[in-house]
Each structure stands twice: as C-alpha cells, then as structure tokens.
Amino acid sequence: MGLNEAKLAAAVAAFTLDTDELQAVAAAFRYDIERGLEGNTESTLPVLPAYLGLPTGEEQGEYLALDFGGTNVRVLRLRLLGHGNFTTLAKAAAPLRVSGQYDYTGSSATATELFDFIAGQVDAVLDGDHQTPYRLGHTFSFPSSQKDLRDARLLHWTKEFATSGVEGAYVNALLQEALLRRGIGNVQPTAVINDTVAVLLAAAYERGDTYIGSIYATGQNNCYLESYGEQRPAMILNMESGNFGKLLPNAYDLQLDAGSEKPGRQRLEKMVSGRYLGALFTLAMEDIQGRPLSSSFTSQDMAVLLSDAAAGAEALQRLFGISFSAAEAAALQPLAAAILRRSARLVAAAYTGILWHRAGSGPIVPQQIAIDGSVYEKMPLVQETLTQAMKELLAEDAAKVQLRLAAGGSGLGAALAAAMCKEQ
C-alpha cells in the first residue's frame, strides 16, 4: 500500500514530548491543584471533596459493592476482615452495551432503564435474599458533586456516556428507586465514591503509606489525600484530572476533541486514556493515508500491533480494509508507541504535580501510588515509560515513590466506603 514516510514521521513527532515540556505540564498541574483548592475558576481541575479520609484498617463486616463507570457494571458481596483482608462471597457483572442487542450508555437509553439494569445485577448477588439488611457502597466513576458521602450528583458524563436523565441527578437516589421497583427493600445505598477514591481506600486498607489513588483505564483520573495543614481534618479529593487542560494539543487532539460528545472537556483524558488512544491512532492514519477510514482502531488493536507486526497487519487490514504487509505494519509501530509513550509521560507529569503539591516546601515522603486499570496493567510500554518519566521529572526523589498496581480496588473500596459511612 505504500506509506507516506514523511507524514508518518511528522505524526510520530506530533506525539513526542521532551523533558522540558513535561516539566512544564507537571508545574501547571500543581498550579491548577492549588488554584482549584482556592476555588479559583481559572483552574481546570475541579478537586471534588470525597467526604472521606483514609480507612483505619479495622473496618470489618459484610457489604455490597457496586462498581459502575466503565464498560461493565460489577456487583460484589464482600466480607471485610481487616488490614487489607477480605473474602468475596458473591459476584455479578454485565456489559452496559452489547452491540446489536442493547446499549445503556447511549442517549436513547433512559436513567430508569440504566438503573433497572444495574438493580438486576445487585439482585444477582443477593441469591434471592430480600430480607437481610445490607449497606451498599457505590463506586461511581464520573465527575460528581457531593455534600456528604451518602449521595452524589452527576455533573456531566465523560468517556462518551450519554444516557439521558442522569446528568444533574443524584445517583444513589436513582439506584434506590430502581432497587425498590425490583422489590429489593433490604439494600441501602449508603456511600458514593469515585473509582480513584476506591483504589486509594483499598490500597490504604492494606498499607498506610498511600496518599494517591489513580485509574488508568477507559478513563484516567487521580485522587489524593489533602491534609489542609492544621486547618481542618484531612480529606480525599477527587481531582477529575482528566479535565486538566493546560496542555499542548496537536492537530489530532484538536480533531478528536471537536468530534467528541463533550468538546472542550476532559482534554488530558482525551490524550491519555484507553477510550481515546485508538481514535488518535486512527486520526493519524487518516492523515498519513490522505483519506477517511471506515472504522477505528482500539487500544487493544494498538497492543496487538506493538507486540506482533504480522498480527498488527491483519488488524489494520480488517479495520481499514486496506492490505498491509508485515513490514508496513512494523513501520507503523513507532506511531502506536509514540501515542502510548506520550500518554504515560503525561500521566507521570500529573503524578508529579500532586507529589509536589503534597510536599509543599518540604521533602517528598516515601510512599506508593496505587494505580488500577487496563492501560496501566496491560498496555505495552506504559509501565516502563511511566517509571522512566518519573525519574526524568523527580530525579533522585523518584526512588521514594513506588508505582503499585492495585487491581480490583473499585469493589473493595466501595465496601470500605460503606463501612466507613457506618462508622461516621
């Protein structure tokens, strides 16, 4: 098919960030945290209070945990045993969208349909028990404003969700109504937390030296424990860092944003998260090819291309309907790599901005950052690029910060939030 090598090289360059640019992003990120805390609207970081501090480690008991925020909805019945230990008693999971069958994430679905579907998953872990009282913790992974831990109002959808009637509504109230419609009167939704908060709670349940929780998946976001000096008790803040906007977008970023559900919002997320990486690759390919392509690469396709050029050639051919040789697919690997490396480098800049803010004028304390999500866990190049970028940004301080995979924290964190609510 013949690749335009000059255009390919230009696309790779457009996704490349040097150390100075990265330092500037980290500094701007810290600046926006501090302006966000002052309530200054110039900040692109909402820093939303979670109405929770860290768990003590003593939390115990049986709880339901709902995890709603990505491709699948998951419900667990968990027994917390203290100090990082728990057992899973029952679990249910279902996709929110099955092509050709149903889609609870699109604008034609209503809040009632969506929450009735979720209530069905809650019912599945009850094994027909509509008597025993349960507290439910809800990990709801979208920007939400809270006045307390018990409920949260969706500010606006992200990750291309568009279900009608949920923006502006209280999500635990919607869930409670759906549970009652299904005859489930014994489940009380008592806490709502962001998935980043869930990851932080789950990691801190086991180890005390965790102050930052991160999701690096379909969406990307971070939370941290704000100590507020001596002024008031420490509280976890959901940064909604995907909305950070003081960046240098390239032409593909601008094009992707313009064609998205919410132009102008979630600018960092659109440059780093799994929902968008394949779309960026596709836009660059259209530019290289000089014509529109019929379908879009996903981040999984990028992983295939990076690990095996022959399999990558098949994926390119299947999706774009153009025949590619393995050599041509191999020539496209640097493009996929540049998109992934930029993603990991920008996430490292956000972590660094938080570390700088938490340290203030003092030293960075030894700690771990708890990270969950498929991009961090599974995508080629991501972990090593993140580690390398942290070294570039923090120099010798990087040795004090351990990046730790905290898989499955969403469910455990939701149960912990329900337990912590009980203790309040």
- Write out the residues near ligand BGC by the rule CB under 6 A: 69, 141-143, 158-159, 194-196, 215, 217, 219, 221, 240, 242, 269
User: Distance between CA atoms of 386 and 348, rounded to whole angstroms?
Assistant: 6
Please check whether residue 394 is in contact with residue 364, taking contact to mean a CB–CB distance below 8 angstroms: yes
Q: Least separation, in Å, of the C-beta of 213 and ligand BGC?
A: 9
Q: Least separation, in Å, of the C-beta of 226 and ligand BGC?
A: 17
Residue 269 or 287 with smaller CB distance to ligand BGC: 269
Would you tell me how many other CB atoms lie within 10 Å of the CB of residue 16? 14
Q: Least separation, in Å, of the C-beta of 70 and ligand BGC?
A: 6
Q: Least separation, in Å, of the C-beta of 44 and ligand BGC?
A: 13
Residue 143 or 312 with smaller CB distance to ligand BGC: 143
What φ, ψ does residue 3 adopt, rounded to 5°? Answer: -90, 145
User: Distance between CA atoms of 17 and 250, rounded to whole angstroms?
Assistant: 11
Task: Enumerate the H helices of 155-298 as residue ranges.
Answer: 171-181, 195-206, 251-258, 269-272, 274-289
Q: Least separation, in Å, of the C-beta of 229 and ligand BGC?
A: 26
Residue 217 or 379 with smaller CB distance to ligand BGC: 217
Residue 158 or 176 with smaller CB distance to ligand BGC: 158
Residue 324 or 351 with smaller CB distance to ligand BGC: 351
Amino acid at 81: L
Residue 312 or 409 with smaller CB distance to ligand BGC: 409
Please check whether residue 229 is in contact with residue 40, taking contact to mean a CB–CB distance below 8 angstroms: no
Q: Least separation, in Å, of the C-beta of 275 and ligand BGC?
A: 8
Please check whether residue 29 is in contact with residue 18, taking contact to mean a CB–CB distance below 8 angstroms: no
Please check whether residue 119 is in contact with residue 184, taking contact to mean a CB–CB distance below 8 angstroms: yes
Amino acid at 172: N
Residue 195 or 287 with smaller CB distance to ligand BGC: 195
Type and span of the H or E element at 369: strand 367-372
Please check whether residue 64 is in contact with residue 418, taking contact to mean a CB–CB distance below 8 angstroms: yes
Residue 214 or 250 with smaller CB distance to ligand BGC: 214
Q: Least separation, in Å, of the C-beta of 347 and ligand BGC?
A: 12
Of all residues in the shown chain, the one whose CB is closest to ligand BGC is 219
In the numeric block, which tokens belong to residue 157? 């959808």
Q: Least separation, in Å, of the C-beta of 240 and ligand BGC?
A: 6
Half-sphere exposure of 148 (CA within 13 A, CB side): 8
User: Distance between CA atoms of 56 and 311, rounded to whole angstroms?
Assistant: 48
